[in-house]
Amino acid sequence: MGNSYELEQFQKSLFRFILIIMAILFIFAIITSIKINYKKDKTEPQTTKCSKEVIIKYPHYIYPNIKYDLQVIEDSSEVIELNGITITSYNNEENQTDDTPHIMASNRMVYEGAIAISRDIKDRYKLKWGDFVLINSDRLYVIEDLMNERYKNQVDIFDFNKEWSKTINFKNQKIKIYKVNK
C-alpha cells in the first residue's frame, strides 16, 4: 500500500516539475520574440532615391517600416487605372466581416495597409493577393481581402480605428492597381 502512494506522489511531483519547465520555456520564447521584434523596429528601411516614395503600414513584426519606390513598382507591374470607384473603410468587427473577423481572405491576420476589393474588380482584372492599390497618388495598399458579392466597383480599406473608418465613404474616385503577381 505504501509503494503505491509514494509512486502516486512521485508522479504528481514529476508532472508539476514538467509544467514548471514548460512555463519557463514558454516565457523565454515570448521574451525572445519581443526582443527580436524590438530590434526589427529599430532598423531603418533601405530605399533608393526615386521620383516618389510611398509607405505601406505593414505590422511591424512582418515588414518593419517598408518604403516602396513607386517608380520600381510601376516599371515592374501592369498598371490598371480605374475611375468611378467607391472607397470605404472597415475594421475587424463581425458585423462588418464574415465569421472570422481577424483573418482576411488571403489567410493573413488583419493589418492596417491591407485593402479588400470587390469581387467584380478582382475577377475582371484577374488580381491576386499581394497586388497593390494606389489611392490619392500617395497611399499604397496591399490586396488581401474580398468584399461581399453585393458590392460592385468598390475598395474597402482596413483600419483598426473605428471612428476613422466611419468617416471614409468617397464615391467616383480614381485608383491605380499594380498587378505585380502575374
Q: Going residue by residue through the chain, which has 182 residues, state the pLDDT in tens, using 9 for 90 and above.
A: 567 888 888 888 888 998 898 888 888 777 666 554 444 444 443 333 344 444 444 443 344 445 566 777 777 788 899 999 999 888 877 667 767 777 888 888 888 888 999 999 999 999 999 888 888 777 788 899 999 899 999 999 888 887 777 777 788 888 989 888 76
Pair (92, 31) in one structural domain: no
Pair (34, 69) in one structural domain: no
Q: For the whole model, what pTM was predicted?
A: 0.61
Pair (31, 79) in one structural domain: no
Phi, psi of 167 (to 5 degrees): -85, -10
Total count of residues recorded for the chain: 182
Pair (85, 160) in one structural domain: yes
Pair (87, 147) in one structural domain: yes
The CA distance from 86 to 178, in Å, is: 18
The answer to whether residue 48 is domain-embedded is no
User: How many domains does one find in the chain?
Assistant: 2
